[in-house]
Amino acid sequence: MPELPDVETFKRYIDSTSLNKKIVDVKVDTTKILENITKKKFKNFLIDKKFVETYRHGKYLFIKNNNSKWLVLHFGMTGFVKYFKDLEKKPDHTRLLIKFENDYYLSFNNQRLFGKIELTDDKDKYIKDKKLGVDALDLDYSTFKKLIDYRKAMIKSTLTNQNIIAGIGNIYSDEILFHTGIDPKTKTAKIRIKKLKTMFENIKKILKISIEAKANPNNFPKNFIIPHRKKEGKCPKCNEKLKTVKVNGRTTYFCPIHQKKK
């Protein structure tokens, strides 16, 4: 589920496994997700270098090389990274395989090929060019209010719009709206100020708790809706059967008792 908490978890994973080790080999399995660069050039930029630093903005992960290039990873709907020694443990759909001098590998996996692998000299320019909004964890309340309080779109659509706030996707927006008690189809501008403030606090709280849980729903608090996002799912607060509705062409789960239009 590569939204902000997942990507932050990947970032920390890479920090603890893959920094400051010389890269001795690079394999790219598909050119489909390699943007604006040939396989050969891409390899040349990584081989004999080391990763020295990571940075996350929204759902994008940046990994800095000691030649001052940033490797940019985007996970699409199905991506993850894995560090391992035994090649038999290489996950299916490995699109990028990096071998370090200690004979360990770091793989970037992406079943559905909606992910992206890129290089950039300037991560801030990259973020600007992509028109990404402020990272959800860097947001303060007055910016949040200014960014959204006039918008006509449905609140779920506003929350998941990466050009406004970066990092919140289909899954975590459901969690935020559930705890705030708002119907996902509510027009953003109609939300009362008190609810806006609660929503802002919930964004922070939920993302932080989820990161602490390593974005694994099995570790989530009992009152989270995410583990119940499935057919026949029940509200963790009142046991009411959850409803689904399409917003932005994506399935949205909500509790008809706890989430209202105002």
Collapsed DSSP state (helix, strand, coil) of residue 244: strand
Which segment (20-28, 110-118, 137-145, 203-211) binds DNA by CB under 7 A? 110-118
190 binds DNA (CB under 7 A): no
65 binds DNA (CB under 7 A): no
Q: Across-strand partners of 105?
A: 84, 99
The single residue among 22, 27, 39, 130 that binds DNA, judged by CB under 7 A, is 130
Compare residues 23 and 133 and give the one whose CB is closer to DNA. Answer: 133
Say if residues 167 and 137 touch (Cβ distance below 8 Å).
yes
Burial 148-166 (b: 16+ CB within 10 A, else e): beebebbbbbbbbbbebbb
Q: Which of 83, 105, 99 is nearest to 24 (CA)?
A: 99
Burial 94-132 (b: 16+ CB within 10 A, else e): bbbbbbbeeeebbbbbbeeeebbbbbbeebeebbeebeb
The residue within the footprint of DNA, chosen from 104, 161, 181, 243 (CB under 7 A), is 161
- Using rule CB under 7 A, residue 78 touches DNA: yes
Q: Which of 66, 94, 111, 198 binds DNA (CB under 7 A)?
A: 111
182 binds DNA (CB under 7 A): no
Nearer Cβ to DNA, position 9 or 100?
9
Q: Does residue 74 interact with DNA by CB under 7 A?
A: yes
CB 57 within 8 A of CB 132: yes
Among residues 19, 26, 153, 213, which is the contact residue for DNA, using CB under 7 A?
153
Is residue 245 a contact point for DNA (CB under 7 A)?
A: no
Among 19, 113, 245, 257, binds DNA (CB under 7 A): 113
Instruction: Using CB under 7 A, list all residues that contact DNA.
Output: 1-3, 32, 58-59, 74-78, 93, 111-114, 130, 151-154, 157-158, 160-162, 169-171, 188, 229, 244, 248-251
